[in-house]
Amino acid sequence: MTSKTSSRRQFLVGAASAGVAFPTASRAGDPLITEVQDWAIGHGDGVDASPYGLPISHESHVVRRNVEWLTADTISSINFTPIHALEGTITPQGVGFERHHSGAIDLSKPDYRLMINGLVDQPLVFTYEDIERFPRENHVYFCECAANSGMEWNGAQLNGAQFTHGMIHNMEYTGVPLRLLLEEAGVQTAGKWVFVEGADASSNGRSIPLDKALGDCLVAFKANGEALRKEHGYPVRLVVPGWEGNLWIKWLRRIEVTKGPVETKEETSKYTDLLGSGIARKWTWEMDAKSVITAPSPQMPIRHGTGPLVITGLAWSGRGAIEGVDISLDGGVNWTPARLDGQARAKALTRFYLDHVWDGGQMLLQSRARDSTGYVQPKKDDLRRVRGLNSTYHNNAIQTWWVNAEGMVENVEVA
């Protein structure tokens, strides 16, 4: 709250005292003003031209993209959300990154079944229609793959926020609290964990402590108001707020209440972090506070020259809400509080802005998030000191973009 108020004041004072000249030229004689244009003569498309609306052709570059050397085959693969080109906080499903271990399956509602078994009083099988009859809720949450920014551990590598930070999306989910379905089956006192798996060949089985399962997990069937897309787990996926994306089981088919964790491949050889000591960190479910400047960034250079420049980005924490974001223009020497946009929601993306006046000088842009637990996003070297260099997952370090005098932007690291 404090940082929000003070950053706002700073913005207003800064803008007023600098006497910012916003671009308001009269553009006398501009034919786009003085001439009648083609699109104003005759008719546009009729209402039935696209029963399901798609982005206009001029925006066809705003798509998921992959990194060639990461995508040996597209079946067990990943692509990235174009976060550099989006605004606000909600990710449209059509550009939300995808991560499949054995491809996206086509599962219809009539063929859908969800089984709850194991240490329960009454094993149950739900159809899609059964799930729709339980009380439902709507919540906005981010889903971040544990491997997001993983390629950046050993040095600056990928040139674009889409590639360094795009294994994330943020949607409004409609679903039934998992707790209600578990209560229906009746969890026995010996049950301390749930094992969750999907209907795809990989099954992506993971163990989740019962407390979390009875907490804020959702059995979701809608995202951003419409049915889940096939690639996001149609017709039903698990939403595990604030926890690594790997636990968000798509095409959710079975929930087994167990005494202990199952220790599948996904929680032993994968999704653990090998420290410098040779010991692996395990059960690292929560996503630590993190942020990135989405513009300017390598895919979003400054094209308008000096003067007013909107610096913007996204911040999030799996432990709670974002309390503040600081921005540095000089590689972390000096910091200015950013303006947080709207209400910072727990376990969801928060948009931030710094309304800056660019003098055309070079900048080393950084953002640093702080969450409601007081945790502050670390510098890359500080994270490496604790975790070593063997890690892939859970890299939440501060990102640096180098902006040159031409406004071009590169991914760099500062010591």
Which H/E stretch holds residue 255? strand 252-258
Token look-up 């376990």 returns: 347
Residues in region 368-407 near ligand MTE by CB under 6 A: none
Distance, in Å, from the CA atom of 330 to the CA atom of 68, rounded to the nearest integer, reads: 32
- Judged by beta carbon distances under 5 to 8 A according to partner kind, the member of Co ion, ligand MTE, none in contact with residue 200 is ligand MTE
Instruction: Name the segment binding Co ion (CB under 5 A); options: 9-17, 96-104, 184-192, 395-403.
Output: 96-104
Q: What backbone torsions phi and psi does residue 266 show, to the nearest 5 degrees?
A: -70, -10
Given a contact cutoff of 8 angstroms between Cβ atoms, the answer to whether 248 and 196 are in contact is no
Nearer to ligand MTE, 169 or 380 (CB): 169
Q: Least separation, in Å, of the C-beta of 144 and Co ion?
A: 8
Q: Least separation, in Å, of the C-beta of 233 and ligand MTE?
A: 6
Q: Least separation, in Å, of the C-beta of 6 and ligand MTE?
A: 36
Q: Least separation, in Å, of the C-beta of 398 and Co ion?
A: 22
Distance, in Å, from the CA atom of 220 to the CA atom of 316, rounded to the nearest integer, reads: 21
Nearer to Co ion, 306 or 392 (CB): 392
Cβ neighbors of 248 (< 8 A, separation 6 or more) are: 143, 233, 237, 238, 239, 240
Q: Which of residues 166, 177, 198, 378 is near ligand MTE by CB under 6 A? A: 198
Q: Which of residues 84, 99, 101, 347 is near Co ion by CB under 5 A? A: 99
- Judged by beta carbon distances under 5 to 8 A according to partner kind, the member of Co ion, ligand MTE, none in contact with residue 365 is none
Instruction: Locate 100 and state its tokens.
Output: 């499949």
Asked if 237 interacts with Co ion (CB under 5 A), we say no
Asked if 246 interacts with Co ion (CB under 5 A), we say yes
In DSSP terms, 255 is beta-bridged to 116, 196
Residues in region 209-248 near ligand MTE by CB under 6 A: 231-232, 245-246, 248
Q: Which of residues 233, 245, 296, 324 is near Co ion by CB under 5 A? A: 245
Identity of residue 147: A
Q: What backbone torsions phi and psi does residue 226 show, to the nearest 5 degrees?
A: -125, 170
Task: Give the total of residues touching ligand MTE (CB under 6 A).
Answer: 21
Q: Which of residues 89, 174, 204, 294 is near ligand MTE by CB under 6 A? A: 204
Nearer to ligand MTE, 187 or 238 (CB): 238
* Nearest one of 235, 238, 229, 265 to 143, comparing CA atoms: 238
Instruction: Locate 51 and state its tokens.
Output: 């029963």
Cβ neighbors of 52 (< 8 A, separation 6 or more) are: none
Q: Least separation, in Å, of the C-beta of 97 and Co ion?
A: 9
Q: Which of residues 145, 252, 257, 344 is near Co ion by CB under 5 A? A: 145
Q: What backbone torsions phi and psi does residue 160 show, to the nearest 5 degrees?
A: 160, 140
Q: Which of residues 83, 151, 236, 249 is near ligand MTE by CB under 6 A? A: 249
* Cα torsion angle, 136, 138, 139, 141, sign: positive
Q: Where are the alpha helices (DSSP H) in 281-402?
A: 380-387
Distance, in Å, from the CA atom of 87 to the CA atom of 71, rounded to the nearest integer, reads: 27
Asked if 145 interacts with ligand MTE (CB under 6 A), we say yes
Distance, in Å, from the CA atom of 267 to the CA atom of 263, rounded to the nearest integer, reads: 6
Q: Least separation, in Å, of the C-beta of 245 and Co ion?
A: 4
Mask: binding to ligand MTE, 68-107, rule CB under 6 A, as x and -? ----------------------------xxxxxx------
Positions touching ligand MTE (CB under 6 A) are 96-101, 143, 145, 169, 198, 200, 202, 204, 231-232, 245-246, 248-251
